[in-house]
Homo-oligomer: A and B are copies of this chain.
Amino acid sequence: MEYMTKAAASTDEPQWLTAEEQRIWRSYLHATYLLEDHMDRQLQRDAGMPHVYYGLLVKLAESPQRRLRMTELAMHAKITRSRLSHAVARLEKNGWVRREDCTWDKRGQFAVLTDQGMEVLRNAAPGHVATVRNALFDRLTPEQQKSLGEIMEIIAEGLQPDEAGADLPWLR
């Protein structure tokens, strides 16, 4: 099977990927998979949590009072509230995050980074940064770094929040 390529496009055939596009796409899949895996393993080993969970602690650490409403945290981290609920349950069990009721909205909950969580973050951060450097920035020229940033912003822009119009091409 030719997967996504096509020698010549005939009438209303899907627009397959060229050989070059396919090469790029596979490189993309391969690299992003390896890198995410690499980060996950590093953090699992050095901090005892997956990359996404680490990201949650970072968001909390950057917030005033080291606290954020669940929904806000979910939005910042771009994950669903459901996933966040599970994640915070786990982080709470580890003593790295604490929940607090919201005074003025009785439905609300704050996720609060504990001192212990802060400590874990402090210990893990250097290794994490070093890993990012090693795997990414040290290998790219300044131009490539710049280009990577631009490209990633374009991609993200096209897939934004609710993907409104993503499959409504006439609205684009």
Contact = CB atoms under 8 A, between A and B. Distances in A.
A166 interface: yes
A152 interface: yes
Number of copies: 2
A129 B146 CA distance: 28
Given A30-B152, A132-B25, A125 B38 contact: no
A151 B155 contact: no
Interface in A115-172: 118, 121, 125-126, 128-130, 132-137, 139-140, 144-156, 158-160, 163, 166-167, 169
A49 interface: no
Interface residues of A, number: 64
Main secondary structure of the interface of A (DSSP, over half): helix
A104 interface: no
A125 B166 CA distance: 18
Contact of A133 (B15, B140, B160): B15
Contacts of A140: 151, 154
24 contacts: A1-B61, A3-B125, A4-B132, A14-B125, A14-B129, A14-B130, A15-B130, A15-B133, A16-B129, A17-B132, A17-B137, A24-B152, A25-B136, A28-B148, A29-B55, A31-B159, A34-B159, A35-B155, A135-B166, A136-B155, A144-B150, A147-B151, A148-B148, A148-B151
Given A20-B145, A28-B136, A37-B159, 16 more contacts: A1-B121, A14-B126, A17-B129, A24-B145, A27-B152, A31-B151, A32-B32, A32-B152, A34-B78, A34-B156, A38-B159, A135-B155, A144-B147, A144-B150, A144-B154, A147-B148
